Homo-oligomer: A and B are copies of this chain.
Amino acid sequence: VSRYKLIVEYDGAPFQGWQRQENGPSVQQTLEEAVHGFSGETVVVEGAGRTDSGVHATAQTAHFDLPTDRFDASVVMNALNAHLRAHPISVLSAEHVPDDFHARFSATWRSYRYAILNRPAPPAIELGRVWHVQKPLDVERMRAGAAYLIGHHDFTTFRATQCQARSPEKTLDRLEIERVGEHVIVKVQSRSFLHNQVRIMVGTLKLVGEGKWTPERVGQALAARDRRAGGQTAPAQGLYLTGVGYD
């Protein structure tokens, strides 16, 4: 067999998330159909991160196998993009990888970006691509709150109640917040994340930025190890999977 690694960009809006679903189109299924379209093969395309419905990716990583190596990686990329023309999915790169490469299990880190549009007027050009927060956010306060979350913690407060992960302990390697014009951008990196972890962290830090919470309350919420102690889950439309790392 011949294994291919893909880096994929997509607009999450029209999809029920990455993973194949009964109730609507998924990015995974759309990619699998594109592989079938050019190769005739029925494959499973494994992704590094199972993004939820409405979540975008600028650099999701995935892999799949073909029975022969008769397709150059560049041919695979162009053929996939030709078959994906009707969908907001784009294959940014394709390469041959060894058989022991696994997009999900070989990954050593994931990075996400969360985009908030922080102004009185709603988004028009970025509709469906940002979270609209009208009240001015104090980025310095948000950073003070974020400091409690960086490092190794029990993130029970920041996981969806239906999260399937065996352990709620994760190491958050990076949590940066910056203002870029009307936008507040949150960038995070970790080996892996709990279900909705990024969105609950953002929903909580937004309360700090608005002045409704003190920064210290983020530390108290973390220590509570209780989802009810955290803020709202920020909407999917502001979240982007921006990178996946491998050793």
Contact = CB atoms under 8 A, between A and B. Distances in A.
Contacts of A127: 11, 88
A9 B121 contact: yes
Count copies of this chain in the complex.
Answer: 2
Interface residues of A, number: 24
B88 A121 contact: no
A123 B120 CA distance: 29
A90 interface: yes
B91 A125 contact: no
A85 B81 CA distance: 33
A124 B58 CA distance: 9
B58 A90 contact: no
A95 to B, nearest CB: 13
Contacts of A85: 122
A66 interface: no
Which of A11, A77, A125 gathers most chain B CB within 10 Å? A125
A51 B223 CA distance: 54
Interface in A123-158: 123-125, 127, 129
A43 B120 CA distance: 25
A121 B77 contact: yes
10 closest A-B pairs by CB? A90-B124, A9-B124, A88-B124, A92-B121, A90-B121, A11-B125, A90-B122, A10-B124, A88-B127, A89-B124
Given A88-B124, A90-B123, 18 more contacts: A9-B121, A9-B123, A10-B125, A11-B124, A11-B125, A56-B125, A58-B125, A77-B120, A81-B121, A81-B122, A85-B122, A88-B127, A89-B124, A90-B124, A92-B119, A92-B121, A93-B121, A125-B129
